[in-house]
Amino acid sequence: MPAGDEEADRIAADVVAAYIANIANVELVQRLGAAYGVRVLNYWQPSIFTKQHPIAYETRQIRYADVIGRMYQKANLRIAELPEGRFMDIGGLLDRREEGLFIDWCHLTEKGNEQIARRMMVEVLQAQTDGRSQP
């Protein structure tokens, strides 16, 4: 196991555990949404660490945050194991894009945020059409 992997594993477990611990809040928000006829959508956002064609600047950011990158990759695996409907996993949305979409290791450019908003709008409009309050 490469140096730092144990730390990345521990941090990933802590991050996902925090989301799971927050499930009570997520479920409360889901119930509130149901009471008001609104479907609540939670998202796990894209990461620079899974991008297949990072530009030079993004590559420097990835190297800068190496342990965080390993943690994020491991957290992605754990998020995928959560019960369906907890998070809409759009983590890979930007992975194959070749243009620069990240300002740093976790913040997106305007164009990156636009891509996320366009993707999220699909579920938002579908939720309105379906009239469902639960995913």
Question: pLDDT of 79-89, one tens digit each?
Answer: 888 877 777 88
More confident residue, 22 or 127: 127
Flag whether 27 is in a domain: yes
Say if residue 60's pLDDT is above 90: no
Flag whether 135 is in a domain: no
* Residue 114, amino acid: E
Beta bridge mates, 43: 88
pTM for the model: 0.54
Say if residue 20's pLDDT is above 90: no
Flag whether 51 is in a domain: yes
Say if residue 78's pLDDT is above 80: yes
Structure tokens at 8: 């990345």
Separation CA 43–CA 91 (nearest Å):
8
Q: How many residues can be counted in the chain?
A: 135
Percent of the chain with pLDDT strictly greater than 70: 93
Q: How many domains does the chain have?
A: 1
- Considering only CA atoms, which of 64, 60, 48 is closest in space to residue 109? 48
Percent of the chain with pLDDT strictly greater than 90: 15
Backbone angles phi, psi at 38, to 5 degrees: -120, 130
**End-to-end distance of the chain based on CA atoms, in angstroms?**
38
Q: Which domain holds residue 63?
A: 5-130
The answer to whether the CB of 39 falls within 8 A of the CB of 132 is yes
